[in-house]
Amino acid sequence: MIRIVKSSELKSKGVIRESVENTSLRDTVGSIIKNVKNNGDEALKKYTKEFDGIEISDFEVSRASIDKAFKEVDAEFIKVLQKAAANIEEFHRNQINTGFDLVPKNGVILGQKVTPIARVGCYIPGGSVPYISSVLMNCIPAKIAGVKEIIMVTPPCATSKGVDIRILAAAKIAGADRVFMVGGAQAVAALAFGTQSIPRVDKITGPGNAYVTEAKRQVYGIVGIDMLAGPSDVLIIADKTTNPVYIAADMLSQSEHDADASAVLVTDSMTLAKKVRAEIETQLAQLPRKDIATDSINSKGLIIVSGTINEAFDISNERAPEHLEIMLDEPFNYLNKVINAGSIFLGKSTPETFGDYIAGPNHTIPTNGTARFSSPLSVDDFVKKSSYIYFSDEALNEKGPDAILFAKEENLDAHAVAVEKRLK
């Protein structure tokens, strides 16, 4: 049963996340990466047989197979995918940054050039649950950014031993250029170093399990990564006017992800807190993924009773949730109180489910409190920015002495000489 605590009883309003190194996980992943780096496809075949239980000779899913899958998926679901893709595209097109040129000043021209990353790898989780939505959320922003080649990797479906046809249909809609059936840490290694069949990429995006996350950590610097995604979490702020049925349903929608997912309610009403706890137990009994959700609710779930709604926002900002639901009347009145949150859901008619699938903003969002300093996946993650500088001869002579003085103060005389040699 979920715990109810008063805010005054909390040792910390935020979440204290101790950094505990899992040496076994680190070493296992490191060994997988090294093997894939050295042995390419042969290592991938070994791990696919070991971890996924299938033997495979060709990892790439053919374009014909993708087209066939698209035709086999239920037509109504294809329409939903296309609607969701259109919403995601519309939202992310507003993130396009074309750089800038400053007005030339005294012979100096400055600016910033935005260039799409040449090749990215999008990791799409699979296995027991097909993360179809992650295909749209990763590939569409990359396409909008102008990425030349989008490489998608995804593990085989646990039942069919192949890629789920809905994932392939989403790949076609989202514009993935090539799709490979491989998952886990070995897929991340293949993207980072390249194999005989899978090309090396410049950046890897997309969520995954602990092995995928650790692999991304270890290859960072060789390639770029979007973020180190942890278990999903939601924090809901509500008062006595909010329907406890809605709150319980939204908390369980996060808890069914996995046992480490976190669902938290912060309310100024003890009466509501008790109603929500009872409703969670009622709804839990009806869930197909009851066991997973129960483990999550019992170990990671929490209901905090605050003194005021303002204190509820203080608690939320310290916890920096991945998903924040403001289930209050006139929710826009509270928007400016939010400092740390990945994605914000306003009002009582806006379940977090909309953000996962159809609304438009990206659902790849900072977890584990990292919304304090990072942002959801966006078009910016698929471009790089270069500054440029031009000095005319006149500007060189005018500004040169300042640069020389600065270089000498840092005892970098060759820097000073590089300017002195050019001065007239």
Residue 22 pLDDT = 86
* Pair of tokens at residue 226: 């979007």
Taking the alpha carbons at both ends of the chain, their separation in whole angstroms is 80
Residue 217 pLDDT = 97
Is residue 122 a contact partner of residue 225, using CB atoms and an 8 Å limit?
A: no
Task: Please list, in sequence order, all residues whose beta carbon lies within 8 angstroms of the beta carbon of residue 146, skipping any fewer than 6 positions away.
Answer: 116, 382, 383
Residue 20 pLDDT = 53
For 281-349, give the DSSP string. HHHHTT-TTHHHHHHHHHHH-EEEE-SSHHHHHHHHHHH--SEEEEESSSGGGGGGG--S-SEEEESTT
Task: Please list, in sequence order, all residues whose beta carbon lies within 8 angstroms of the beta carbon of residue 268, skipping any fewer than 6 positions away.
Answer: 239, 240, 305, 306, 307, 308, 309, 311, 312
Residue 122 pLDDT = 98
**In b/e form, how buried is each residue of 343-366, taking b as 16+ CB within 10 angstroms?**
bbbbebebbbeebbbbbbbbbbbb
**Exposed / middle / buried, residue 138 (Cβ in 10 Å: 0-12, 13-18, 19+):** buried
Residue 138 pLDDT = 98
Residue 373 pLDDT = 96
Residue 151 phi, psi dihedral angles, 5° rounding: -100, 125
Residue 162 pLDDT = 87
Residue 35 pLDDT = 98
Task: Please list, in sequence order, all residues whose beta carbon lies within 8 angstroms of the beta carbon of residue 226, skipping any fewer than 6 positions away.
Answer: 203, 204, 205, 206, 364, 377, 381
Q: What angle do CA 395, 400, 401 make, to 5 degrees?
A: 135
User: In angstroms, rounded to a whole number, what is the distance separating the alpha carbons of residues 252 and 280?
Assistant: 7
SS3 46: helix
Residue 15 pLDDT = 57
Residue (of 226, 134, 159, 148) closest to 188 by Cα position: 226
Catalytic center residues: 322-323
Residue 14 pLDDT = 60
* Pair of tokens at residue 413: 């005389």
Give bridge partners of residue 309 from the DSSP assignment.
Answer: none
* Cα 343 versus chain centre, distance: 11
* Pair of tokens at residue 333: 């009145």
Is residue 131 a contact partner of residue 125, using CB atoms and an 8 Å limit?
A: yes
User: In angstroms, rounded to a whole number, what is the distance separating the alpha carbons of residues 373 and 330?
Assistant: 28
**Exposed / middle / buried, residue 222 (Cβ in 10 Å: 0-12, 13-18, 19+):** middle
Residue 222 pLDDT = 98
What structural domains and CATH numbers belong to the chain? 23-225 (3.40.50.1980), 231-372 (3.40.50.1980), 393-424 (no CATH)
Neighbours of 304 (CB within 10 A): 25
Give bridge partners of residue 100 from the DSSP assignment.
Answer: 112
Residue 57 pLDDT = 87
User: In angstroms, rounded to a whole number, what is the distance separating the alpha carbons of residues 53 and 47?
Assistant: 9
User: In angstroms, rounded to a whole number, what is the distance separating the alpha carbons of residues 235 and 125?
Assistant: 24
Task: Please list, in sequence order, all residues whose beta carbon lies within 8 angstroms of the beta carbon of residue 373, skipping any fewer than 6 positions away.
Answer: none
**What is the full per-residue pLDDT of the chain (424 aa) written as tens digits?**
999 999 998 876 665 454 556 899 999 999 999 999 999 999 999 999 999 999 998 999 999 999 999 999 999 999 999 999 999 999 999 999 999 999 999 999 999 999 999 999 999 998 678 899 999 999 999 999 999 999 999 998 867 778 999 999 999 999 999 999 999 999 999 999 999 999 999 999 999 999 999 999 999 999 999 999 889 999 999 999 999 999 999 999 999 998 999 999 999 999 999 999 999 999 999 999 999 999 999 999 999 999 999 999 999 999 999 999 999 999 999 999 999 999 999 999 999 999 999 999 999 999 999 999 999 999 999 999 999 999 999 999 999 999 999 999 999 999 999 999 999 7
Residue 12 pLDDT = 67
